[in-house]
Copies of this chain bind each other. A is one copy, B any other.
Amino acid sequence: MGEVTWTDVAPRDGLQNIAAIVPAEVKIRLVDGLLAAGVARVEATSFVSPRWVPQLADAGEVLRALGPDALPRLRVLVPNRRGLEMALEHDVRNVLYTIAATETFNRANVNRSVAESLADLDAVVADARQGGCDVDVAVSVSFGCPFEGAVDPQRVVDLCAELVARGAMEVGVADTIGVANPAGVRELCVRAGAFVPANRLSLHVHDTRGLGVANVLVAYEAGVTRFDGSAGGLGGCPFAPRSTGNVCSEDALQAVAAVGGVHGCDLEAYCAVSERLAADLGMDLPGKLYRAGVWTGARVEETVA
Give the nearest-CB partner of A146 in chain B. B300
- Residue A244 CB within 8 A of the other chain: yes
| A residues 124-146 touching B (CB-CB < 8 Å) | 144, 146
Q: Which of A6-14, A50-58, A147-155, A197-205 is near enough to bind chain B?
A: A147-155
- Residue A209 CB within 8 A of the other chain: yes
Contact call A147/B299, Cβ cutoff below 8 A: yes
- Residue A228 CB within 8 A of the other chain: no
- Residue A259 CB within 8 A of the other chain: yes
| CB of A134 to closest CB in B, whole Å | 31
Contacts A182-B258, A297-B150 hold; do A208 and B288 have CB atoms under 8 A apart?
yes
| A residues 161-208 touching B (CB-CB < 8 Å) | 178-179, 181-184, 207-208
Query: Measured between alpha carbons, how far is A63 from B150 in the docked complex, in Å?
Result: 43
- Residue A2 CB within 8 A of the other chain: no
Q: Which of A21-29, A77-85, A247-255 is near enough to bind chain B?
A: A247-255
- Residue A76 CB within 8 A of the other chain: no
- Residue A65 CB within 8 A of the other chain: no
| CB of A10 to closest CB in B, whole Å | 15
Query: Measured between alpha carbons, how far is A181 from B214 in the docked complex, in Å?
Result: 11
A37 contacts across to B, CB distance below 8 A: none
Please pick, from B217, B240, B243, B295, the residue contacting A217 in the complex, using a CB distance under 8 A.
B217
Contact call B183/A258, Cβ cutoff below 8 A: yes
Contact call B254/A292, Cβ cutoff below 8 A: no
Contacts A217-B217, A299-B149 hold; do A259 and B182 have CB atoms under 8 A apart?
yes
Chain A residues touching B, range: 35 or more
| CB of A101 to closest CB in B, whole Å | 14
Please pick, from B149, B243, B295, the residue contacting A209 in the complex, using a CB distance under 8 A.
B295
Query: Measured between alpha carbons, how far is A21 from B293 in the docked complex, in Å?
Result: 27
Contacts A183-B259, A211-B254, A214-B217 hold; do A293 and B150 have CB atoms under 8 A apart?
no
Query: Measured between alpha carbons, how far is A287 from B217 in the docked complex, in Å?
Result: 19
Q: Which residues of A contact B (CB under 8 A)?
A: 144, 146-150, 178-179, 181-184, 207-211, 213-214, 217-218, 237, 240, 242-244, 248, 251-252, 254-255, 258-260, 287-289, 291-293, 295-300, 302
Other than A179-B295, A182-B259, give 13 A-B pairs with Cβ distance below 8 A: A147-B300, A149-B299, A179-B297, A181-B254, A184-B258, A208-B292, A209-B254, A209-B289, A210-B248, A211-B258, A214-B255, A217-B217, A217-B218
